Amino acid sequence: SGESGAGKTESTKLLLQHIMNLCKGNSQLEQRILQVNPLLEAFGNAQTVMNDNSSRFGKYIQLRFQESTVQGAKLSEYLLEKSRVVQQDTGERNFHIFYYMFAGLSSEQKELYGLLDPSLYRYISGRFGTQEVAEHWKHKYQEVCNALDMVGFQEQEQVDMQAILAGVLSLGNVTFEPEESDGFVKVSEASQGWLKAAAVSHKKYSQKPYGQLVCRAPCSPVSPSVSCCCSRCADVRDSIAKVAYGRVFGWIVCKINELLAENVDPEVELSEIGILDIFGFENFAVNRFEQLCINLANEQLQHFFNHHIFQLEQAAYKEEGLPWETITFNNNEPILNLLLAKPFGVLSILDEQSAFPQATDKTFVDKLNSIFKGSLHFQPARGRVLGFSIVHYAGKVQYDAKGFLEKNRDTLPASVRGLFISSVTPLLIPLHIHHEPRPTLARVKSGHDALLLWLDGLLIFLCPCQHSLMVLMERMYSANPHFVRCIKPNSQKEPGVLDNQVVLLQLRYNGLLETIRIRRDGFSWRPSFEEFAER
C-alpha cells in the first residue's frame, strides 16, 4: 500500500521475481506468471498528474504452491476505471495500450484496423507525444505482443482485441445532430465514416455492413430539447465504449487465469501466497466518483492494517497477562462509518438517490450537507460549488459531485446486449444483460439498417464499488497478512530526491511511527514452543 506513485506496482513485480527465483525453477509457468504484470499494465495503467504509470485498477495475484514448486496462479481485478476510456483531465492520458498501438503497429496493420492519425481521435484528446516518447511506446508495444505470446494468447485473439480497441477510438468520434423534419436526432453526416469504422472494427454486423443507429433519449417532459437528446445519445456512445473496453480487460484476466490454472489432482492440498497491488490514495485538483472509490479502498486497507498491527497485537499481550502500556493510534473507523454506515452513510445515501429518477447530483449533495452537518470528517463545499470534502486518514479531499449519480448507477442501454450479441467477434458476445426495453421517446437515425440502442430502458447496478471492495476485504481478513508500506520520496516524480516533509507526512498518517514503537516495545518474533525448545 501507499500513495499513488509510491512504487507499489514496481515492488509487486520485484516480489514476484523474488518468489519465482526462490522456487529454483525456470519452468514455462513461472515465466508466464512474470509476464502477467507488464501485460496488465498496458491495459490497466495510465499517466496521471501524480504518476506516469498509475494503476487504474486493483489486482490480487494468488500463487499456488505444492511444497516449494509453483503449480498455478489466479488473478482477480477490482474497480477498473472505465471512465478514463472516454475522458481524461489535463495532464493525463488514456490507458497505455492505445498509444502503444499507434506507435507499434505497421502502416498495413493500421489500415487493417482503420486507424488514422492519432491527433484525430477525441478519446485520446489528440495528444500523442514527442518522437522519443513514440519510440518508447513502440518498444512497449513489442513487449506487450511478446507477453501475449508468452502467456498463450492466440494470434486471432490478439487481432480481435486490437480491432475492438480501434473501434472504441472510432466510436468516440461519432457525433449527433437534429433532423429538421421529424424531431429525431441522427448521427451527424460528418461522422458517418467514424460510425462505419467502429462497426467494421467491432464486426457488429454479420449480414449487413452497417446498421441504423436508433437511440431513444428520455428528454425532460417539461423541456424535451433536442440538445438533451443529443447529450443522451452521446452518453450511450460513451457507455458502449466503456463496456467494450471493460469487456476486453475482463476477457484478458479470464484468459490469463485459464492459462495459469494449476494442473494437479484436486485431492492435493496447495498452499498459497497472495499479493494485493491496489491503487494508492489520490488527491487531484479535481476529484470525482472514481477518487472516492479509490480512497474508500485505501481507508479500508488502513483500517485492516490498524486492526492487525495495533488492536489484535495489544489484545494478545493483555490476554497473555504481559505488562504493557497501551499504544494509541489514529483510528479511522469514524471515517469508514461516515462512508459506509447504513442507512445514513455517504454511499447508502448515494444508492438511495440513485434509485430515484428525479434525483440529481444537487439533491444528493443537499442531503449530505443536511445529514452530516457538524461532522468532524465532512465539510460542505463553499459558495456555489457542487461538491463536498471528506477528511480522510491521509488528509482532506474535496470531491466534485458532478456525475456521481450517473456513475453509481453504472447505467447501460438495455438492448446494447443485442448490439454485442450480434457481433461476430467472440470477445464481445458474453455480456449477461437481462432487460427488455420500453417504448421509444426519441430516436436517432444513421441512414443505415437495423441496430437498436435503447436509452431509457436502463440497466442499473447500484454501487459496484461496494460489492467489489466487500469481496476483497473478506479475502484479506481470512489471510495471514504481511504489510509492505511504500513511501513516496517526493511529489515531483524525480529520482534520487528525498523530500523530508513529504516522507514524514506519510509516516505519520500511515501510523508507521506508532508501528515502529509497537515493534520496538512489543514481541514481534513469535516462535512456537517446539522452535524455542529446540534452540
Q: What is the pLDDT of residue 429?
A: 60
Answer yes or no: is 384 within a domain.
yes
Known binding-site residue numbers for ATP: 2-9
**Structural domain for 352, as ranges:** 289-435+451-478
In single-letter form, the type of residue at position 259 comes to: L
Judge contact between 191 and 174, C-beta under 8 A: yes
Tell me which residue of 403, 435, 393 sits closest to 304, measured CA to CA: 393
Between CA 257 and CA 264, with CA 259 as vertex, the angle to 5 degrees is: 90
Divide the 535 residues of the chain into consecutive groups of 10 and give the mean pLDDT of each group. Answer: 92 93 81 91 94 93 90 92 93 95 95 93 81 92 95 92 94 87 78 86 46 43 61 85 91 93 85 91 93 93 93 93 93 95 93 92 97 96 94 96 88 61 62 34 32 32 60 84 94 94 95 92 88 95
Domain boundary among 249, 278, 307: 278
Does 318 lie in the same domain as 193? no
Question: Is 212 in the same domain as 308?
Answer: no
- Establish if 496 belongs to a structural domain: no
Q: Which amino acid is at 275?
A: I
Q: Report whether the peptide linkage leading into residue 343 is cis, meaning its omega lies within 30 degrees of zero.
A: yes
Residues 331 and 471 in one domain: yes
Q: In the chain, what is the straight-line distance between the N-terminal and C-terminal CA atoms, in Å?
A: 35
Other Cβ atoms within 10 Å of 266 Cβ, number: 6
Residue 124 CA to residue 234 CA, distance in Å, equals: 16
Name the one residue in this structure whose C-alpha cell is 457507455: 239
The answer as to whether 444 is a domain residue is: no
Q: Which residue, among 452, 340, 459, 453, has the nearest Cα to 410 in the 3D structure?
A: 459
Shared domain for 311 and 402, answered yes or no, is: yes
Same domain, 370 and 395: yes
Whether 69 and 144 share a structural domain: yes
Report pLDDT digits (tens) over 354-377: 989 899 999 999 999 999 999 999
Do 101 and 212 lie in one domain? The reply is: no
> Would residue 507 count as lying in a domain?
no
> What single-letter amino acid sits at 416?
V
Q: pLDDT by residue (tens digit) across 312-323? A: 999 999 999 999
Q: Are residues 80 and 204 in the same domain?
A: no
Closest CA to 372 of 402, 404, 337, 406: 337
Q: What is the pLDDT of residue 85?
A: 96
Of 99, 136, 100, the C-alpha closest to 119 is: 99
The verdict on 138 and 187 lying in the same domain is: no
Could you tell me if residue 151 is inside a domain?
A: yes
* Residue 413, domain CATH: 1.20.58.530
Q: Are 377 and 338 contained in the same domain?
A: yes
Name the residue among 402, 404, 516 with its Cα closest to residue 463: 404
- pLDDT of 471: 79
Residue 24 lies in a domain: yes
Cα 419 to Cα 32, 156, 161, 204, 206: the distances in Å are 34, 22, 17, 7, 11
d(C-alpha 382, C-alpha 413), whole Å: 36
Sequence length of the chain is 535
Any domain includes 195: yes
Comparing CA positions, the residue from 50, 39, 432 lying closest to residue 256 is 39
CB 403 within 8 A of CB 386: no
Catalytic residues: 4-5, 9, 51, 54-55, 280, 282
Mean of the per-residue pLDDT values for the chain? 84
Residues 335 and 228 in one domain: no
Regarding whether 133 and 17 lie in a shared domain, the answer is: yes
Domain presence at residue 218: yes
Q: Work out how many domains the chain is built from and give that number.
A: 3
Q: Which domain CATH number covers 48?
A: 3.40.850.10
Which pTM does this prediction carry?
A: 0.86
